[in-house]
Amino acid sequence: MAVDHQSPGALDGLRVLDLSRFIAGPLCCQILGDMGAEVVKVERPGGEDGRRHRPFHRGHSLYTMMFNRNKHGITLDTRHPEALGILEGLVARSDVVVENFRPGTLEKMGIGWERIHEINPRTVLVSISGYGQTGPNRDRALFDAIAQAGSGLMSMTGSPDGEPTMAGAFLADHTAGFHGVMGTMMALAARERTGLGQHVDIACMDALFACMGTLPSAWAMLGETSGRTGNRDQITVPANTFPTADGYVYLHAGTDALFPRLAAAMEDPGLADDPRFRGQADRLTHVEALEDIVRGWTRRESTTTICDRLAAAGIPSSPVATVAEVTDSEQVKAREMMIEVEHPELGTLVLPGMPIKLGATPARARKAPPTAGEDNAVVYGRLLGYSDERVRALADAGAI
């Protein structure tokens, strides 16, 4: 991911109005900005609540830096009498509007989907909310952990004899942000044919529920349920976390093709011919005995030695890496998954890179995450034609 202020991206010429905050909406807009879209982020005067979340770098929240690069930052008090006219002017000049308020909030502001479509029929509205625009829970508040609990994911996470456990990352917010990008691109593709924008409805709960694989269908079609299995794969064996002499390794050698390779890597070729472990169903039946054998092998060697042997045998495996280890790894560096962006006030920022790699129009880091209202004069002047005096008057009146 290059740091470049000039080269056009895949979405060059697209303008996105970002009315969102926290993670899902801002991440959606940042990805669009990484790919070349002009993104205008709107916050209330003083900045969104996320700017007060730790950790801090020189007094500024890393939380907001993660999801707001490649954006022009402006402020607007949506409750101010002049706010509606300003918002309408921004919508009229935008291809996409992204918001993650509770359903009905935009309507209360006077700029719901029908009004947006009236102002600019080509505008795509992307609404990212907890439970979506429909359903009995549409008006309920939701944070990521609530989605993990309500989607069924938490009931499947953790050790069999332990409590339901939350994942260590904000999975619902991120998956909803990714689906927001996909929904945006689908709506823009449809606009190429129809000339009209549409309302894209993304729910964090839906996005996470869609990650549950076969579990919901197994219940709906077969009446089958599964409990927590810790790190053990539910379908193939052995596929689990195993201790090594100096750490942990996760290996996956449960298929009938991979298991003989594991036996050879363990220098125990007869293991593959053991009737208890010969087929996948046999290994599932005798999972405890097989894992004890594999565990006895992994404990005798270092993590590096184990992973090297497994890689040579073509068996998927990985050390259980810490955040520090993976962040500093050569793979992350080679994939440009951590990039340096220069901020005019805060110096060098080290931020997560872009996982989508386009050969001809790659993602670019064109602009550091803005401070709240950093671009008021530029955006209000360029997009709405406001004079410097008009911008100052709005600021003095508390509108921006």
Task: Quote the tokens at residue 157.
Answer: 């996470």
Which of 34, 173, 206, 375 is flagged as catalytic?
Answer: 173
- Residue 173 among the catalytic residues: yes
Rounded Cα–Cα distance for residues 182 and 352 (Å): 20
Q: In what order do the strands lie in the sheet with 248-252?
A: 239-243, 248-252, 317-319
Provide the 8-state DSSP code for 30.
Answer: H
CA distance 144 to 276: 42
Closest by CA to 180, choosing from 133, 127, 225, is 127
Q: What is the CA radius of gyration of the chain?
A: 25
Q: How many whole angstroms separate alpha carbon 164 and alpha carbon 224?
A: 19
145: tokens are 């952990």
End-to-end alpha carbon distance in the chain: 33
309: how many CB neighbours lie within 10 A of its CB?
A: 18
Kindly write down the DSSP assignment for every residue of 6-51, as one continuous string: SS--TTTT-EEEE---SSHHHHHHHHHHHTT-EEEEEE-TT--GGG
Element (H, E) at 277: none
Rounded to an integer, what distance in angstroms lies between the CA atom of residue 54 and that of residue 211? 29
Query: Among 249, 320, 257, which Cα is nearest to 291's?
Result: 249
Q: Which residues pair with 347 in a beta bridge?
A: 343
Q: Catalytic residue positions?
A: 173
